[in-house]
Amino acid sequence: MTREIVFTQRVEFGDCDPARIVWFPNFFRWLDAASRHFFVSCGVPSWSETERDTGLIGTPLVDTHARFIKTATYGDTLQIRTRIAEWRGKSFVMAYRVLRGDDLLMECEEVRIFAARREDGSIYALPVPADIRRLCE
Amino acid sequence: MTREIVFTQRVEFGDCDPARIVWFPNFFRWLDAASRHFFVSCGVPSWSETERDTGLIGTPLVDTHARFIKTATYGDTLQIRTRIAEWRGKSFVMAYRVLRGDDLLMECEEVRIFAARREDGSIYALPVPADIRRLCE
Amino acid sequence: MTREIVFTQRVEFGDCDPARIVWFPNFFRWLDAASRHFFVSCGVPSWSETERDTGLIGTPLVDTHARFIKTATYGDTLQIRTRIAEWRGKSFVMAYRVLRGDDLLMECEEVRIFAARREDGSIYALPVPADIRRLCE
Amino acid sequence: MTREIVFTQRVEFGDCDPARIVWFPNFFRWLDAASRHFFVSCGVPSWSETERDTGLIGTPLVDTHARFIKTATYGDTLQIRTRIAEWRGKSFVMAYRVLRGDDLLMECEEVRIFAARREDGSIYALPVPADIRRLCE
């Protein structure tokens, strides 16, 4: 059984486009927030703390695949159900289901890494930190 | 040979996150702009004109799959190469390559529809309009 | 005594810039949401309902003046205290105080109008609707 | 005579709200980009370079006052005319005029500081750096 965390997101007027529905890049903003809240809910410290202690600056994306099923508009309240679907050596798969009540609006799977920064500013993948994995399972 | 349109995008300070790299939802903002510019470059009227004339309100996403290969930061200038990779009956596939000079930063394929709106505000897919397809090929 | 409504806003990683503090345009996104929630809390219908019934499409800004006092970062939770400081013939003044606990982070006063749309797509100010004013006082 | 720099900004579909006009927080995104481009055009290094060399992390806002005169929508191209209207001991005033052709859409004056970061993450105002002022005059 994998742990699932629910994140609640309101949809605002400014999140919607001239077609009066959520402009899709906003869904990715919300998934990114849900991802961070997943780690916070599991007891993982903030990325500014982990950067200071271990060099870990966050969990950037390397791949994302999303399906948009129904639209949303302002006034809606969304539930984003987030879990880690798979752990790999240097990456992990986050899976999301975005619901409005019983309606599934969107699904997404992402591959993310635990990243550190090189001297020249570029980033690279750390092996999945064992302590973080333990907190999240 | 499919037509390819190049869209140029600057990266700004506010597009970057505390890890000092582009926050990934901004890439989707830029792809959406590149998609619209593709149609504009091909001579397709604005969606507010098409809405008035034929009910077509735009080209919402139904599926997107992106791979993030290298990071970008503010001061960078990106070239977004956009083409329609496939026409289907009621949808089409847009393909993007985001480059900084010769470096490929990101690739994405999207399935989009030509949408109209029902009385109740929900949207549905129109058959691909023949005149728009002709302009874009 | 004017009515004051409190709106709660989380600060997310992606709301922050490379200086690791909230990128200031995001404060305006949140004030705009707080403004709409003020009206919703007072019982005013959604702008899509009012557009259908009376032509009122929303409350666009004509003037805003903000002071930034302290910074915020991700993990913070903000309280936005919103009230209508003044009613005028064709506009009104919304006043906001953004707090984190007891710390005042930002203050803002805006002049907004109740807008309708002309045939050509431009907008104009309606006289302040008496029923909306009554709900908000 | 103060130096004035012109910054060009396209308006995209996703910058517009359900009222089909630019959602106002986007104007502040563009002013912030125009502000940085002003410094870049004057030969000031990027904030990541100045942070490494002198601790200067950027020019956060302390006050902004904007007037919205006409609306814009997607397809528009805006010219943002930026200048430094006043130098003070520990701050400066940036003034903007946003035009579409000859139409003035928006005006804004901002007070900004040159900021450095304390150990605890909070920021403070540096005296205006003489070399930067010389480049910008």
Give tens-digit pLDDT for B5-16.
Answer: 999 999 999 999
Is C32–D19 a contact, with Cβ atoms under 8 angstroms apart? no
Q: For all residues of chain C together, what is the average pLDDT?
A: 95
How many domains in chain B? 1
DSSP state of C15: G
d(CA C61, CA C36): 12
Of D125, D113, D137, residue with least CA distance to D44: D137
In the predicted structure, residue D25 carries a pLDDT above the cut 80: yes
What does DSSP assign to residue C110?
A: E
Candidates A15, A17, A53, A131; catalytic one: A17
Q: Is the pLDDT of residue B44 over 90?
A: yes
A 10 A CB-CB count for C110 gives: 25
d(CA B82, CA B79): 10
Closest partner residue to B23 (CB to CB) among C14, C25, C48 is: C14
pLDDT number for residue A1:
66
Residue of A nearest to C21 (CA): A48
pLDDT in the model for residue B14? 96
* Inter-chain CB proximity A48 and D121 less than 8 Å: yes
pLDDT at C88: 96
The b-or-e profile of D100-117 (16+ CB within 10 A means b, else e) is beeeebbbbbbbbbbbbb
Q: Closest partner residue to C61 among D24, D61, D121, by Cβ?
A: D24
How much is the average pLDDT of C106-128? Answer: 93
- Provide the ipTM: 0.94
CA dist list (Å): A94 to A36, A62, C95: 11, 11, 41
pLDDT at residue D37, as a whole number: 97
B29 touches C at CB < 8 Å = no
Q: Could you give phi then psi for residue B108, rounded to 5 degrees?
A: -155, 140
- Tokens representing B91 are 């949808």
pLDDT > 70 in chain A, percent: 99
Which of D9, D16, D20, D48 is the best residue to mutate to test the B interface, defined by the most B CB atoms within 10 Å of its own CB? D48
CA gap C11, A15 in Å, rounded: 16
Q: How far is CA C137 from CA C35, C131, D65, in A?
A: 14, 10, 27
pLDDT band at residue B4 under the 50/70/90 scheme:
very high
Q: Which among B13, B25, B48 has the least Cβ separation from residue C14?
A: B25
Band the pLDDT of D120: cuts 50, 70, 90.
Answer: confident
Instruction: Please give the mean pLDDT across all residues of chain B.
Output: 95
The per-residue pLDDT for C30 is 98
Chains that touch D (3 or more CB pairs under 8 A): A, B, C
Kindly list the residues from chain A whose CB atom is less than 8 angstroms away from the CB atom of residue C10.
Answer: 33
Answer yes or no: is pLDDT of A40 > 70. yes
- Partner C contacted by B121 (CB < 8 A): yes
pLDDT-based confidence at residue D46 (cuts at 50, 70, 90)? confident
Nearest to C97 by CA among C71, C68, C73, C63: C68
Which pLDDT tens digit goes with each residue over C16-32? 998 889 999 999 999 99
CB pairs under 8 A between A and B: 86
pLDDT confidence tier of residue B47, bands split at 50, 70 and 90: confident
Strand ranges inside B26-118, DSSP E: 61-68, 77-87, 92-100, 103-112, 114-117
- Is B40 in the D-facing interface, judged by CB distances under 8 Å? yes
Residues 6+ apart with CB under 8 A from C101: none
Q: Which residues contact B122 (CB under 8 A, 6 or more apart)?
A: A71
Q: How far from C65 is each of C128, D12, D108, CA to CA, in Å?
A: 22, 26, 10
Query: Considering Cα of A96, then A97, then A98, then A101, what sign does the dihedral take?
Result: negative
Q: Three-class SS string for chain A?
A: CCCEEEEEEECCHHHECCCCCECCHHHHHHHHHHHHHHHHHCCCCCHHHHHHHHCCCECCEEEEEEEECCCCCCCCEEEEEEEEEEECCCCEEEEEEEEECCEEEEEEEEEECEEEECCCCCEEEECCCHHHHHHHC
CATH number (domain holding residue B15): 3.10.129.10
Phi-psi region for residue B92, left (φ > 0), alpha (ψ -120 to 50) or beta? Answer: beta
pLDDT of residue C121 exceeding 90, the answer is: no
- Would you state the pLDDT for residue B69? 95
State yes or no: pLDDT of C46 exceeds 90. Answer: no
Is B63 annotated in the active site? no
Q: Report the range of poorest mean pLDDT among A11-15, C25-29, D56-60.
A: D56-60
Q: Which residues of A touch C46 (CB under 8 A)?
A: 74-75
- CB-based contact C67 D68, cutoff 8 Å: no
Residue B1's pLDDT is: 66
Neighbours of chain A (3+ CB pairs under 8 A): B, C, D
C20 touching A, CB under 8 A?
yes
Closest CA to D2 of D84, D94, D120, D123: D84
Residue of B48, B56, B64 to mutate, interface with A, max A Cβ within 10 Å: B64
C97-107 pLDDT tens trace? 999 999 999 99
Location of structure tokens 């004056």? D109
The SS3 of residue D5 is strand
Nearest-Cα distance to chain C for A12, in Å, is: 6
Read off the pLDDT of each residue in C58-75 and give the average, rounded to a whole number: 95
CB contact under 8 A, B74 and D46: yes
Residue D53 CB neighbour total at 10 angstroms: 9
For residue D98, the enclosing domain spans 4-136
CA distances for D23 relative to C25, C98, C108, angstroms? 11, 21, 17
B75 to chain D, any CB pair closer than 8 A? The answer is yes
Helix axes C25-41, D25-41, angle to 10 degrees: 170
Q: Do B25 and C18 touch (CB under 8 A)?
A: no
Quote the minimal CA–CA distance from C88 to chain B in Å: 33
Note the pLDDT of residue C1.
Answer: 66
pLDDT digits over A94-114, tens only?
A: 999 999 999 999 999 999 999
- pLDDT band per the 50, 70, 90 thresholds, residue A48: confident
Residue D20 at interface with chain A, using a CB cutoff of 8 Å: yes
Q: How far is C82 from C98, CA to CA, in rounded Å?
A: 9
Section A79-89 average pLDDT: 97
pLDDT 10s digits, B98-124? 999 999 999 999 999 999 998 887 889
Q: Which residue of B has its CA nearest to A109?
A: B65
The nearest CA of chain C is from the CA of B43 a distance in Å of: 22
Chains that touch C (3 or more CB pairs under 8 A): A, B, D
B14 touches chain C (CB under 8 A): yes
Return the pLDDT at A68: 97
Confidence bin at D15 (pLDDT 50/70/90) = very high
**CB burial readout A37-69, b (16+ within 10 A) else e:** bbbeebebbbbbebbeeeebbbbbbbebebbbe
- Tell me, rounded to whole angstroms, the distance of Cα D89 from its chain centroid: 19
pLDDT in tens, D85-113: 999 999 999 999 999 999 999 999 999 99
Go through C86-104 and write b for each residue having 16 or more CB atoms within 10 A of its CB, e for each that does not.
Answer: eeeeebbebbbbbbbeeee
Least confident of B44-53, C6-15, D66-75: B44-53
Q: Which residue of C has its CA nearest to D29?
A: C25
